[in-house]
Structure 1
Amino acid sequence: MADPLSQILAHQQQALAAMTAEGLLDEQFQQLLALQDESNPDFVSEVAELYFDDALPKIQRVGQLLSEAAPDFGELDAVVHQFKGSSASLGAGGMAKLCIRMRELCQQRDVAGCQALVMQMQEQFMRLKQQLSVFLSLEAQRKQLAGGG
Structure 2
Amino acid sequence: MAAAAVEQAIQQLLQQSVHEGLLDDQFLQLIQLQDESNPDFVAEVVELYFEDSASKIEMLQQKLAEAAPSYSQVDALVHQFKGSSASFGAHTMALLCVQLRDACHAHNQGVCQQLVLQLRDSFAVLKTRLEQFMALETQRKQLGGS
The verdict on a shared fold, with TM-score over 0.5 as the criterion, is yes
What residue number does 2:105 align with?
Answer: 107
The one-letter amino acid of 1:58's match is K
> TM-score by structure 1 length?
0.94
What residue number does 1:10 align with?
Answer: 8
The alignment partner of 1:46 has SS state of: helix
Report 1:1-149 matches (<5 A): 4-146=2-144
Query: 4+ runs of 1 displaced by more than 2 Å?
Result: none
The one-letter amino acid of 2:60's match is V
Q: CA-to-partner distance for each residue in 1:80-135, whole Å, 9 max, x for gaps? A: 11111111111101101110110111111011111110111000000000010000
The alignment partner of 1:146 has SS state of: coil
What is the percentage of aligned positions where both structures have the same residue?
52
Q: Which runs of 5+ in 2 are unaligned?
A: none
The count of corresponding residues between Structure 1 and Structure 2 is 145
Q: What is the root-mean-square deviation in Å for CA atoms of aligned residues?
A: 1.0
**Counterpart-to-counterpart distance in 2, 1:35 and 1:140:** 17
**Counterpart-to-counterpart distance in 1, 2:109 and 2:20:** 27
Q: Which runs of 5+ in 1 are unaligned?
A: none
